[in-house]
Structure 1
Amino acid sequence: MYFPTAGIEVRPWLPPLVAFGISLFTSMGGVSGAFLLLPFQVSVLHFDSPAVSATNHIFNIVAIPSGVYRYVREGRMVWPLTWAVVIGTLPGVVAGAFIRIRYLPDPAMFKRFAALVLLYIAVRLFRDIWKKKDKKPVAVSMEGEDVVREATLGLRSISYLYRGTKYCVSTASIMTLSLIVGIIGGVYGIGGGAIIAPFFVSFFGLPVYTVAGAALMGTLLTSVAGVTIFEILAPVYPDMAVAPDWKLGILFGLGGFVGMYCGARLQRFVPARLIKTILALCILFTSGRYLGLF
């Protein structure tokens, strides 16, 4: 099958199969997998125009709803945190899309930027892996204290109750972080969930069971904004592939939709440390390749 926007010819079963494999694995860690899907498009499919970032957003739009549905159904979606992330991220996504088209259209420059983003994610994962093991977590259920309660969003703080503990974070801090992540995500085409989730856990001390849903939902909504911006800017740059390749993005998204749902169901049977270690090594290898280290 030929994809005119991407300028590549690929067997139609390959994109959904690759996206399924990536999402099946990464969704166990609470992220969509877009940060690994983009290197596959650039390095394997040789799709390296600005349109690849927009196409990656399409993947997020199609794939993420299955994961979000699971968190909403289990009562672990912290809506005030989600809206704060969205409000902070949206301006960043707009700026990031413009930066990608205006200043990083060259594949070599974009690969260097992507390498730095991937290197950051790998470092965060390794730091989390090397931390001392916490006490054995309480088994997750859909009842009682495993449900988020009393969630509020104020001008100064966001708070909610989970497992008998009240969590409170600065609204301004969350929005500032989201703005920075939005710029990076807008350039790279990942929505930012893979970057913002580790910050929520490490710096703000929020439980991972309540962070993943907000990060995924924020990624979904900001990806919609990202695609819209790329479509609007496309006519301004008629000599450059800017708009997403919808057919390719949807094929990736369909595989990701199934992969995320299956990954969420299988998560409890796979050690989290093993998942993070393999993810970190894969990301580190890709970053090194983009930097020309090997």
Structure 2
Amino acid sequence: MEWETGLAGLATGLLIAVITAPVGVSGAVFLLPVQLSVFAVPSPAVTPTNLLYNVVAGPGALLRHHRTGTLHGQLVRRMVLGTLPGVVLGAVIRVFAIPGPAVFKALVAGFLLPLGLWLIARTLLPSRWSGRAREPLSPRAVTALALTVGVIGGIYGIGGGSLLGPVLVGRGMPVAQVAPAALASTFATSVVGAATYTLLAFSGSGGIAPDWFLGLACGAGGLIGGYLGARLQPHLPETALRLLLGTLATAVGALYAAQSLA
């Protein structure tokens, strides 16, 4: 029944957002396999549905960051400006080229799994990396990375915070600085991406438009959960946030590795 699906989507979005928002991850990367396996959203409609979740869920965490004054600065602007053109290109690639999801899952697993494990080890055993601190990425490198993540987000609807966050934190940036910027870029990317898919739906076939009911239900849960997660962030120490980000990256990598081998 539709109301049962709506309640399940609401609960799923809320739970995911509460856990992921403190480290700048929208949660769409976890929602994607749930939509495919549990809610049976067809491809490629699953991608714009995931983007729709980000559009609805994003303002919750962003409102909290705005109130605390953390939603400002060069990092936010560079990440947003980098991801916006990327997501349009990614959406066009997804609709007309339709790249295989198996390759994407293997690439994400190969990227996030070792990165997450490294971030956990570096946090738990800081003495092993004493004197090896890495320089933060240059502004141009941040923009280039955001552009790449924007393309990936446009193709697969995962937002990009789960990819950007571990890289920037691993390069020495504090989680409290990275999280608002990652969430802002994810929100901007998702607004443009969802609009692009809606327009492309008029010229294509095969279920390009999002599942509006499910996307809105999951997004409503994410809206509440994102605000709660962002409110929780200042009360968590940097070590706990780094461990959470590393754990999330490792979990996503392991999940996609298992799916790519299935």
The CA RMSD over aligned residues, in Å, is 2.5
Match of 1:189 in 2: 157
Aligned counterparts of 1:219 and 1:49: Cα–Cα separation in 2: 21
Aligned residues of 1:185 and 1:191 also touching (Cα < 8 A): yes
Q: 1:279 to 1:178 in 2, by over 3 A?
A: closer
Q: 1:288 to 1:175 in 2, by over 3 A?
A: closer
Say if 2:148 is the partner of 1:180. Answer: yes
Aligned counterparts of 1:199 and 1:214: Cα–Cα separation in 2: 13
Question: Which runs of structure 1 show a deviation greater than 6 angstroms over 4 or more consecutive aligned residues?
Answer: none
Aligned residues of 1:114 and 1:188 also touching (Cα < 8 A): no
Deviation at 1:118, TM superposition (A): 4.5
Could you tell me which of 35, 40, 55 is aligned with 1:61?
Answer: 55
Aligned residues of 2:136 and 2:168 also touching (Cα < 8 A): no
Match of 2:132 in 1: none
For 1:28-43, what aligned pairs fall within 5 Å after superposition? 28-43=22-37
Seq. identity, %: 39
Q: TM-score, normalised by structure 2?
A: 0.85
Aligned counterparts of 2:137 and 2:71: Cα–Cα separation in 1: 16
Q: Partner amino acid for 1:75? A: G
Q: 1:202 to 1:45 in 2, by over 3 A?
A: same
Say if 2:198 is the partner of 1:202. Answer: no
Aligned counterparts of 1:10 and 1:289: Cα–Cα separation in 2: 29
Aligned counterparts of 1:170 and 1:78: Cα–Cα separation in 2: 18
User: Deviation string for 1:185-224 (max 9, x for gaps)?
Assistant: 1111022111112222223x32221111111111111110
Match of 2:131 in 1: none
Query: Which SS does the other structure have where 2:202 is aligned?
Result: helix
Aligned counterparts of 1:92 and 1:262: Cα–Cα separation in 2: 30
Aligned counterparts of 2:78 and 2:24: Cα–Cα separation in 1: 19
Aligned counterparts of 2:88 and 2:185: Cα–Cα separation in 1: 15
Instruction: Point out the structure with the larger strand share.
Output: 1
Deviation at 1:25, TM superposition (A): 1.2
Match of 1:120 in 2: 111
Bigger drift between 78-87 and 62-71 goes to 78-87
Query: Which SS does the other structure have where 1:191 is aligned?
Result: coil
Unaligned runs of 5+ residues in structure 2 are 128-134
Q: TM-score, normalised by structure 1?
A: 0.77
Aligned residues of 2:61 and 2:228 also touching (Cα < 8 A): no
Deviation at 1:17, TM superposition (A): 0.6
Q: 1:132 to 1:191 in 2, by over 3 A?
A: closer
- Higher Cα Rg, which structure: 1
Instruction: Point out the structure with the larger helix share.
Output: 2
Deviation at 1:18, TM superposition (A): 0.9
Deviation at 1:255, TM superposition (A): 0.5
Aligned residues of 2:119 and 2:243 also touching (Cα < 8 A): no
Match of 1:219 in 2: 186
Aligned residues of 2:24 and 2:181 also touching (Cα < 8 A): no
Aligned residues of 1:63 and 1:256 also touching (Cα < 8 A): yes
Match of 1:131 in 2: 122
Match of 1:157 in 2: none
Aligned length: 251
For 1:1-294, what aligned pairs fall within 5 Å after superposition? 1-2=1-2, 11-104=5-98, 109-133=100-124, 170-203=138-171, 205-238=172-205, 240-267=206-233, 268=235, 271-272=240-241, 275-276=244-245, 278-280=247-249, 282-292=251-261
Query: Which SS does the other structure have where 2:261 is aligned?
Result: coil
Aligned counterparts of 2:251 and 2:167: Cα–Cα separation in 1: 21
Unaligned runs of 5+ residues in structure 1 are 3-8, 136-166
